[in-house]
Amino acid sequence: MLLVGSATERMLGQLGAVFEVLDLPEDNRDKFLAERGGDIGYVLSSGHGGVPAEMIAAMPSLRVISNFGVGYDAVDVAEAVARGVMVTHTPDVLNDEVANTAVMLLLATARNLLADNAWLTSGRWREQGNAPLSRSVRGSTVGILGLGRIGLATAEKLAVFGVDIVYHTRTRRDEVPYRHYDDLTDMARGCDVLISIVPGGAGTEGIINRAVIEALGPEGILINIGRGSAVDEPELIAALSDGRLGKAGLDVFADEPNVPAELMALENATLLPHVGSATVETRAAMGDLAVENLTRFQATGKPVTPVAECRGM
Ligand code: A2R
């Protein structure tokens, strides 16, 4: 089994009981894969680099790629499927935590949590008096882009804050009580807050573009806890800088962990280092599921949670 990225001691203990675990040397990938690629039947992927097509091609005996995380845009699933390689991920076990992060980031952004903290610690409270007022979320309309497992958990948590929920997905969900918009820009025009919780990849690349950002407007708030690639980051920075967009709360970025200095300098941007699911409890649950996908497949030929593209395999 090849480890791409890192794993916790708990995961390594579970994996070591079943597999011979090899580490992918970051500085020597190609040589390593040329020498050992043929021996590898299983991959656990948790790194930013993921598993691109050429890596899959370099492992002719590969059977399963277990992705640590629900989003698997860093794994070339089309290549895997074409070669009969199963891809799995870790859905559901992180819904609650990521939804908490969405709510936390929305409240922190709307209520100036970090700016207020800095107001106190920099001495301005003592020297200049009370911090500027922030805006309440009560009474606002929150548009959720991507009402899947995490989006729905987020919508349900937001109910207690007295907001009106609407959503945009490609397919309407008849079982939910929220208004569906066919068009994202139309929804942004009708919203005070837009929360993005869509997967990465070609289908959502730059979907939050200039038109969507401007439709959200000077009082609008963008929250992104899905994938950075869904936002046109240069357009977002420009709009936050010149006041065409009110505020942004971002947990994800286009080129992690590299965050543009212009974005970090903006007072109306609240930024987190991709910590949506990053608690001890949730990461343990994700790790257990990522490992179980490998061990179950090894024992029975079927994983626990294949990605949608591999469900028929
Ligand atoms: O469009 P639909 O009906 O397939 O709905 C999915 C929506 N979605 C999109 N909505 C609008 N335009 C698109 N191009 C588009 N592509 C996908 O995103 C669905 O409502 C939602 C994804 O939900 P799940 O597959 O249940 O994913 P989950 O577990 O909520 O995680 C979402 C993402 C992960 O892929 C990671 O990137 C991140 O959150 O952690």
pLDDT at 100: 98
| Minimum CA distance residue for ligand 1 atom 29 | 149
Which is the CATH superfamily of the domain at 2-93+279-310? NAD(P)-binding Rossmann-like Domain (3.40.50.720)
Mark 273-312 as b/e (b = at least 16 C-beta within 10 Å): ebebbbeeebbebbbebbbbbbbbbbeeeebbbbbeebee
Looking at residue 89, what is its pLDDT?
Answer: 98
Position 61 scores a pLDDT of: 98
Calculate how far, in angstroms, residue 229's C-alpha sits from the geometric centre of ligand 1.
Answer: 13
Angle, nearest 10°, between helix axes 9-16 and 280-300? 10
- The 3-state DSSP class for residue 3 equals strand
Residue-wise pLDDT tens digits, 292-309: 999 999 999 999 999 999
pLDDT attached to residue 273? 98
Q: How far does the centroid of ligand 1 lie from the alpha carbon of residue 47, in Å?
A: 21
> Residues of the chain whose pLDDT is less than 50?
none
CA–CA separation, 288 and 68 (whole Å): 10
- The span from the CA of 168 to the CA of 157, in Å, is 18
Give CA–CA dist 279/95, Å, rounded: 12
pLDDT of residue 265: 97
* CA distance to 7, 162, 178, 211, per residue, from 141 (Å): 40, 9, 11, 19
Q: How far apart are CA 209 and CA 232, in angstroms?
A: 5
Q: Is the CB of 89 under 6 A from ligand 1?
A: no
Cβ–ligand 1 distance for 91 under 6 Å, the answer yes
Q: Is the CB of 146 under 6 A from ligand 1?
A: yes
Model pLDDT, residue 49: 82
pTM > 0.75: yes
CB distance 150 to ligand 1 below 6 Å:
yes
| Residue with CA at minimum distance from ligand 1 atom 1 | 170
Ligand 1: which atom is nearest the Cα of residue 72?
35
Residues annotated catalytic, as ranges? 227, 256, 274
d(CA 125, CA 110): 20
CB 169 less than 6 A from any atom of ligand 1:
yes
Of the residues 67, 68, 150, 310, which should be mutated to test ligand 1's pocket, given the most ligand atoms within 8 Å of the CB? 150
Same fold yes or no, 2-93+279-310 and 95-271: yes
Distance from C-alpha of 75 to C-alpha of 81, rounded to nearest angstrom: 11
Q: Is 121 in the pocket of ligand 1 (CB under 6 A)?
A: no
> What residue's CA is closest to ligand 1, atom 11?
169
Residue 170 CA: nearest ligand 1 atom is 1
- Residue 160 is which amino acid? V
CATH topology of domain 95-271: Rossmann fold (3.40.50)
CB-based contact 103:253 (threshold 8 Å) = no
Q: Tell me, what's the pLDDT at 47?
A: 78
Q: Name which residue sits closest to atom 39 of ligand 1, judged by CA.
A: 226
Per-residue pLDDT, 26: 85
**Distance from the CA of 154 to the center of ligand 1, in angstroms?**
13
Mutate to test the pocket of ligand 1, among 197, 208, 289 (most ligand atoms within 8 A of CB): 197
- What is the C-alpha separation between 62 and 184, in angstroms, rounded? 40
In the chain, what are the domain boundaries? Answer: 2-93+279-310, 95-271
**Do residues 56 and 80 make contact, with C-beta atoms less than 8 angstroms apart?**
yes
